Structure 1
Amino acid sequence: MNKKRSRSHPGKVIGCVSRFHHQKRQADLIKSLANLDLDTGVVFMGQGECLEQCKLLVEELGLEKRVVFLGNVQNPFSILKQCDLFVLTSEAEGLPNVLIESLAVGIPIVSSDCLSGPREILYPSSDQTKILKFDECFEVGEYGVLYPVGNVEELSKAINYYFDGNIFLPEPLEKRAQDFSVDKICKMYSEILQND
């Protein structure tokens, strides 16, 4: 399935759902807007101790018309479905459920290549011990694009890469999300326990 986006597509919207905490690095996404088309905006969902800092950064960069802060949203899926892209900027994760949730609603993803989860979820055929270094270029996986943690320039390039229409998906994103269903995971655990 070839997912195309035109650079002339008006009103491109990036979604971001996470707690506002220094580890989540939402400021990187705000800074990356300076390198994106003027018709590209970001919708943030979540609360946290770094929210006010991010709002100040938006003001400092003059991006008030391009960034929306919705706070905690009871049903983020209804908003995510309307976004053109989902971005995760974390420097560390456990299992980033929000990536699986984004896949489940069929939203393309750009994610930091942090420990742990994004590479396993978005690029399962790659070397799972690899983590992109800060000075390396973004990588295109089967189900999304990975960029080095904290590298705003590569984040911008990865987003533009998608909006330029360069993403080829081997199957619908929703199908990849099914690999993480409760039934499938329970079956895998059961097989592991039986083999011990």
Structure 2
Amino acid sequence: MFSGIVQSVGKIAAMEPRGGDVRLVVDADGLGVDGIALGDSIAVAGVCLTVVAIDATRLAFDVSNETLACTSLGSLVVGSGVNLEKALRLADRLDGHLVSGHVDGVGRVLAIEPDARSQRWTFEVPAELAKYIAGKGSVCIDGTSLTVNQTDGARFGVNLIPHTIAVTTFKDRRVGDAINVEIDLIARYVERLLRG
């Protein structure tokens, strides 16, 4: 489990084809690899991945074809920035919202507009995810916990304050970019309970 509070921005150091899938190597110098062990979970651009190798400041992850198909990880190139977060411990503060790192789909950045010192961002998600996104609810974009301002069909908007832009990959995002979307965990379970 994660909180959606990005701890560092890493850089893709390698995307190595391995037997049909990929070994992703991330330079995680800013995250600090002390205390990270093989088998630990790290959220990489919002995707929960398992550490399979550690080399100085670099972390390696094996990424399956399923994960490549269901997230934006397959479109990354060497040098791409990725939001990073270590898994929560039971004693940690929960500053964002509960995030599993299980991406529900890939959306797109539709618009970025100034709004005083903030920026108003508009995203579009696959239609089947739109019903889970509610005004003033939580959503996780590329591993960042955000509050939804408004919804309009498969589109929704958020405001990003200068701090969030500065410490995440949002500073490098452009209109048209793909984004990993994880809906709120509670919305998933409520729907399941209602369906019986």
TM range (shorter): under 0.3
TM-score, normalised via structure 1 length? 0.27
